[in-house]
Amino acid sequence: MQQVLEEALSTLLRKETTVVGAGRTDTGVHAKQLFAHFDLEQELTEDEMQHLVFRLNRFLPYAMAVNAIFKVNENAHARFDAISRTYMYKVVLRKDPFAHLQAYCIEQQLDVEAMNAAAQLLLGRKDFQCFSRSNTDVKTYICDVAFAKWLHVGDELIFTIKADRFLRNMVRAVVGTLLEVGKHKRTVASINEVLQSKDRSQADASAPAHGLYLIEVKYPDTIKIL
């Protein structure tokens, strides 16, 4: 996605343009909201920014869309200035051709109450190395999870999790492990043991990428120039 956007911007602005996104997602993961920043020497009016949005969307593939361009502070950074991110994971409980690439199909009943009890053990400021991809180049595995909950809606299960930051593959690993709780293949209490182990092998296999959505990235109000 980054390369495609950079190529489109570079063509329209007639200058090589580098884009910095709010974060990276695995292949197959969806983003309903994602921010990126780029540097531009010349000032653009509101009309010029709206026109650039229009022209960008003519260049970009169908799977990508730019909703708005706005001015931010000179030192603003799309990745490092984010104060929280929220992900959603969708599970369908029956075969649905329309959800083939948008949700993970599990044709069995799951214990949602147990999954939510296990999800509550994730809340707070904790070391999530057990849910991180191995050999990840990060300074710390500490994340502060503010919200984690499963919601049963018709034939769908929707998991929402919000934190100040996420490690690579973290949400998919969390979902895969909580699903094992829902299948009664793992106890609720075992989540604490997994966290304390700091060992990826103690958690379960990651859920497929196509059920995961980045739905919100929040920034301080002061980042935007009004």
Q: What is the dihedral angle through the alpha carbons of 162, 167, 173, 178, rounded to the nearest 10 degrees?
A: -30
Amino acid at 164: D
**Parallel, antiparallel or unpaired: strands 36-37 and 30-31:** unpaired
First and final C-alpha spacing in the chain? 28
Q: What is the C-alpha radius of gyration for the chain, rounded to an integer number of angstroms?
A: 20
Say which of 26, 111, 127, 164 is annotated catalytic.
26
Q: Is 221 a catalytic residue?
A: no
Mapped to the 3 state alphabet, what secondary structure does the chain carry?
CHHHHHHHHHHHHCCCCCCEECCCCCCCCEECCCCEECCCCCCCCHHHHHHHHHHHHHHCCCCCCCCCCCCECCCCCCCCCCCEEEEEEEEECCCCHHHCCCCEECCCCCCHHHHHHHHHCCCEEEECHHHCCCCCCCCCCEEEEEEEEEEEECCEEEEEEEECCCCCCHHHHHHHHHHHHHCCCCCCCHHHHHHHHCCHHHCCCCCCHHHEEEEEEECCHHHECC
- Positions annotated as catalytic residues are 26
